[in-house]
Amino acid sequence: MTLFRTLVATALAGAALVLAPLGIAGAATPGSAGSASVHPDSYRAPNGDFVMQRGDVLWRGGYLVAGCNTLSMQGDGNLVDYHWGNAVWATDSYGRGSHLSMQSDGNLVEYDDQGRAVWAAGTQGSGDHFTIQTDGNLVVYRADNTPVWSAGTFGRGC
């Protein structure tokens, strides 16, 4: 890659990180729902719910936005769901959490820096994808879209 292309790519990535919280940047993938790639910093769903598929990881300092709802893997290690900036749900993993993983076995798990689980949804074997919904709820669904776990934070749409 030429120096120019490297500088342009770096500038575009930086602009996306600055603009995403403002709702100006695009999402990771086109369509009606966002999708986290492995190691996302921050993504905003373009027009609807945000979906983490099996194998997707949200690292410390990253966040996912669906409407006025933000799921943040905070720098302090706590995973927190915000509605219009107000915390409505958390894993209470302050000082321990490193990343959130939608595992290949279907379980949604938060890990520490040593790879030890600090929180889990308990959906192994049944979960297919994790959704941050525009109604404010966090839900793990089966492949047929039957919910198997919920944070119970629904009713907080924009």
Identify the pLDDT of residue 42.
Answer: 57
Q: Is residue 125 part of a domain?
A: yes
Q: Is residue 157 part of a domain?
A: no
Q: Is residue 158 part of a domain?
A: no
Identify the pLDDT of residue 35.
Answer: 43
Q: Is residue 12 part of a domain?
A: yes
Q: Which domain holds residue 136?
A: 3-150
Identify the pLDDT of residue 152.
Answer: 92
CA gap 147, 127 in Å, rounded: 8
Mean pLDDT within 94-103: 95
**The total number of structural domains that make up the chain:** 1
CA gap 56, 31 in Å, rounded: 17
CA dist 95 → 42, 92, 122 (Å): 21, 9, 22
CATH number at residue 11: 2.90.10.10
pLDDT tens by residue, 33-46: 444 444 445 566 66
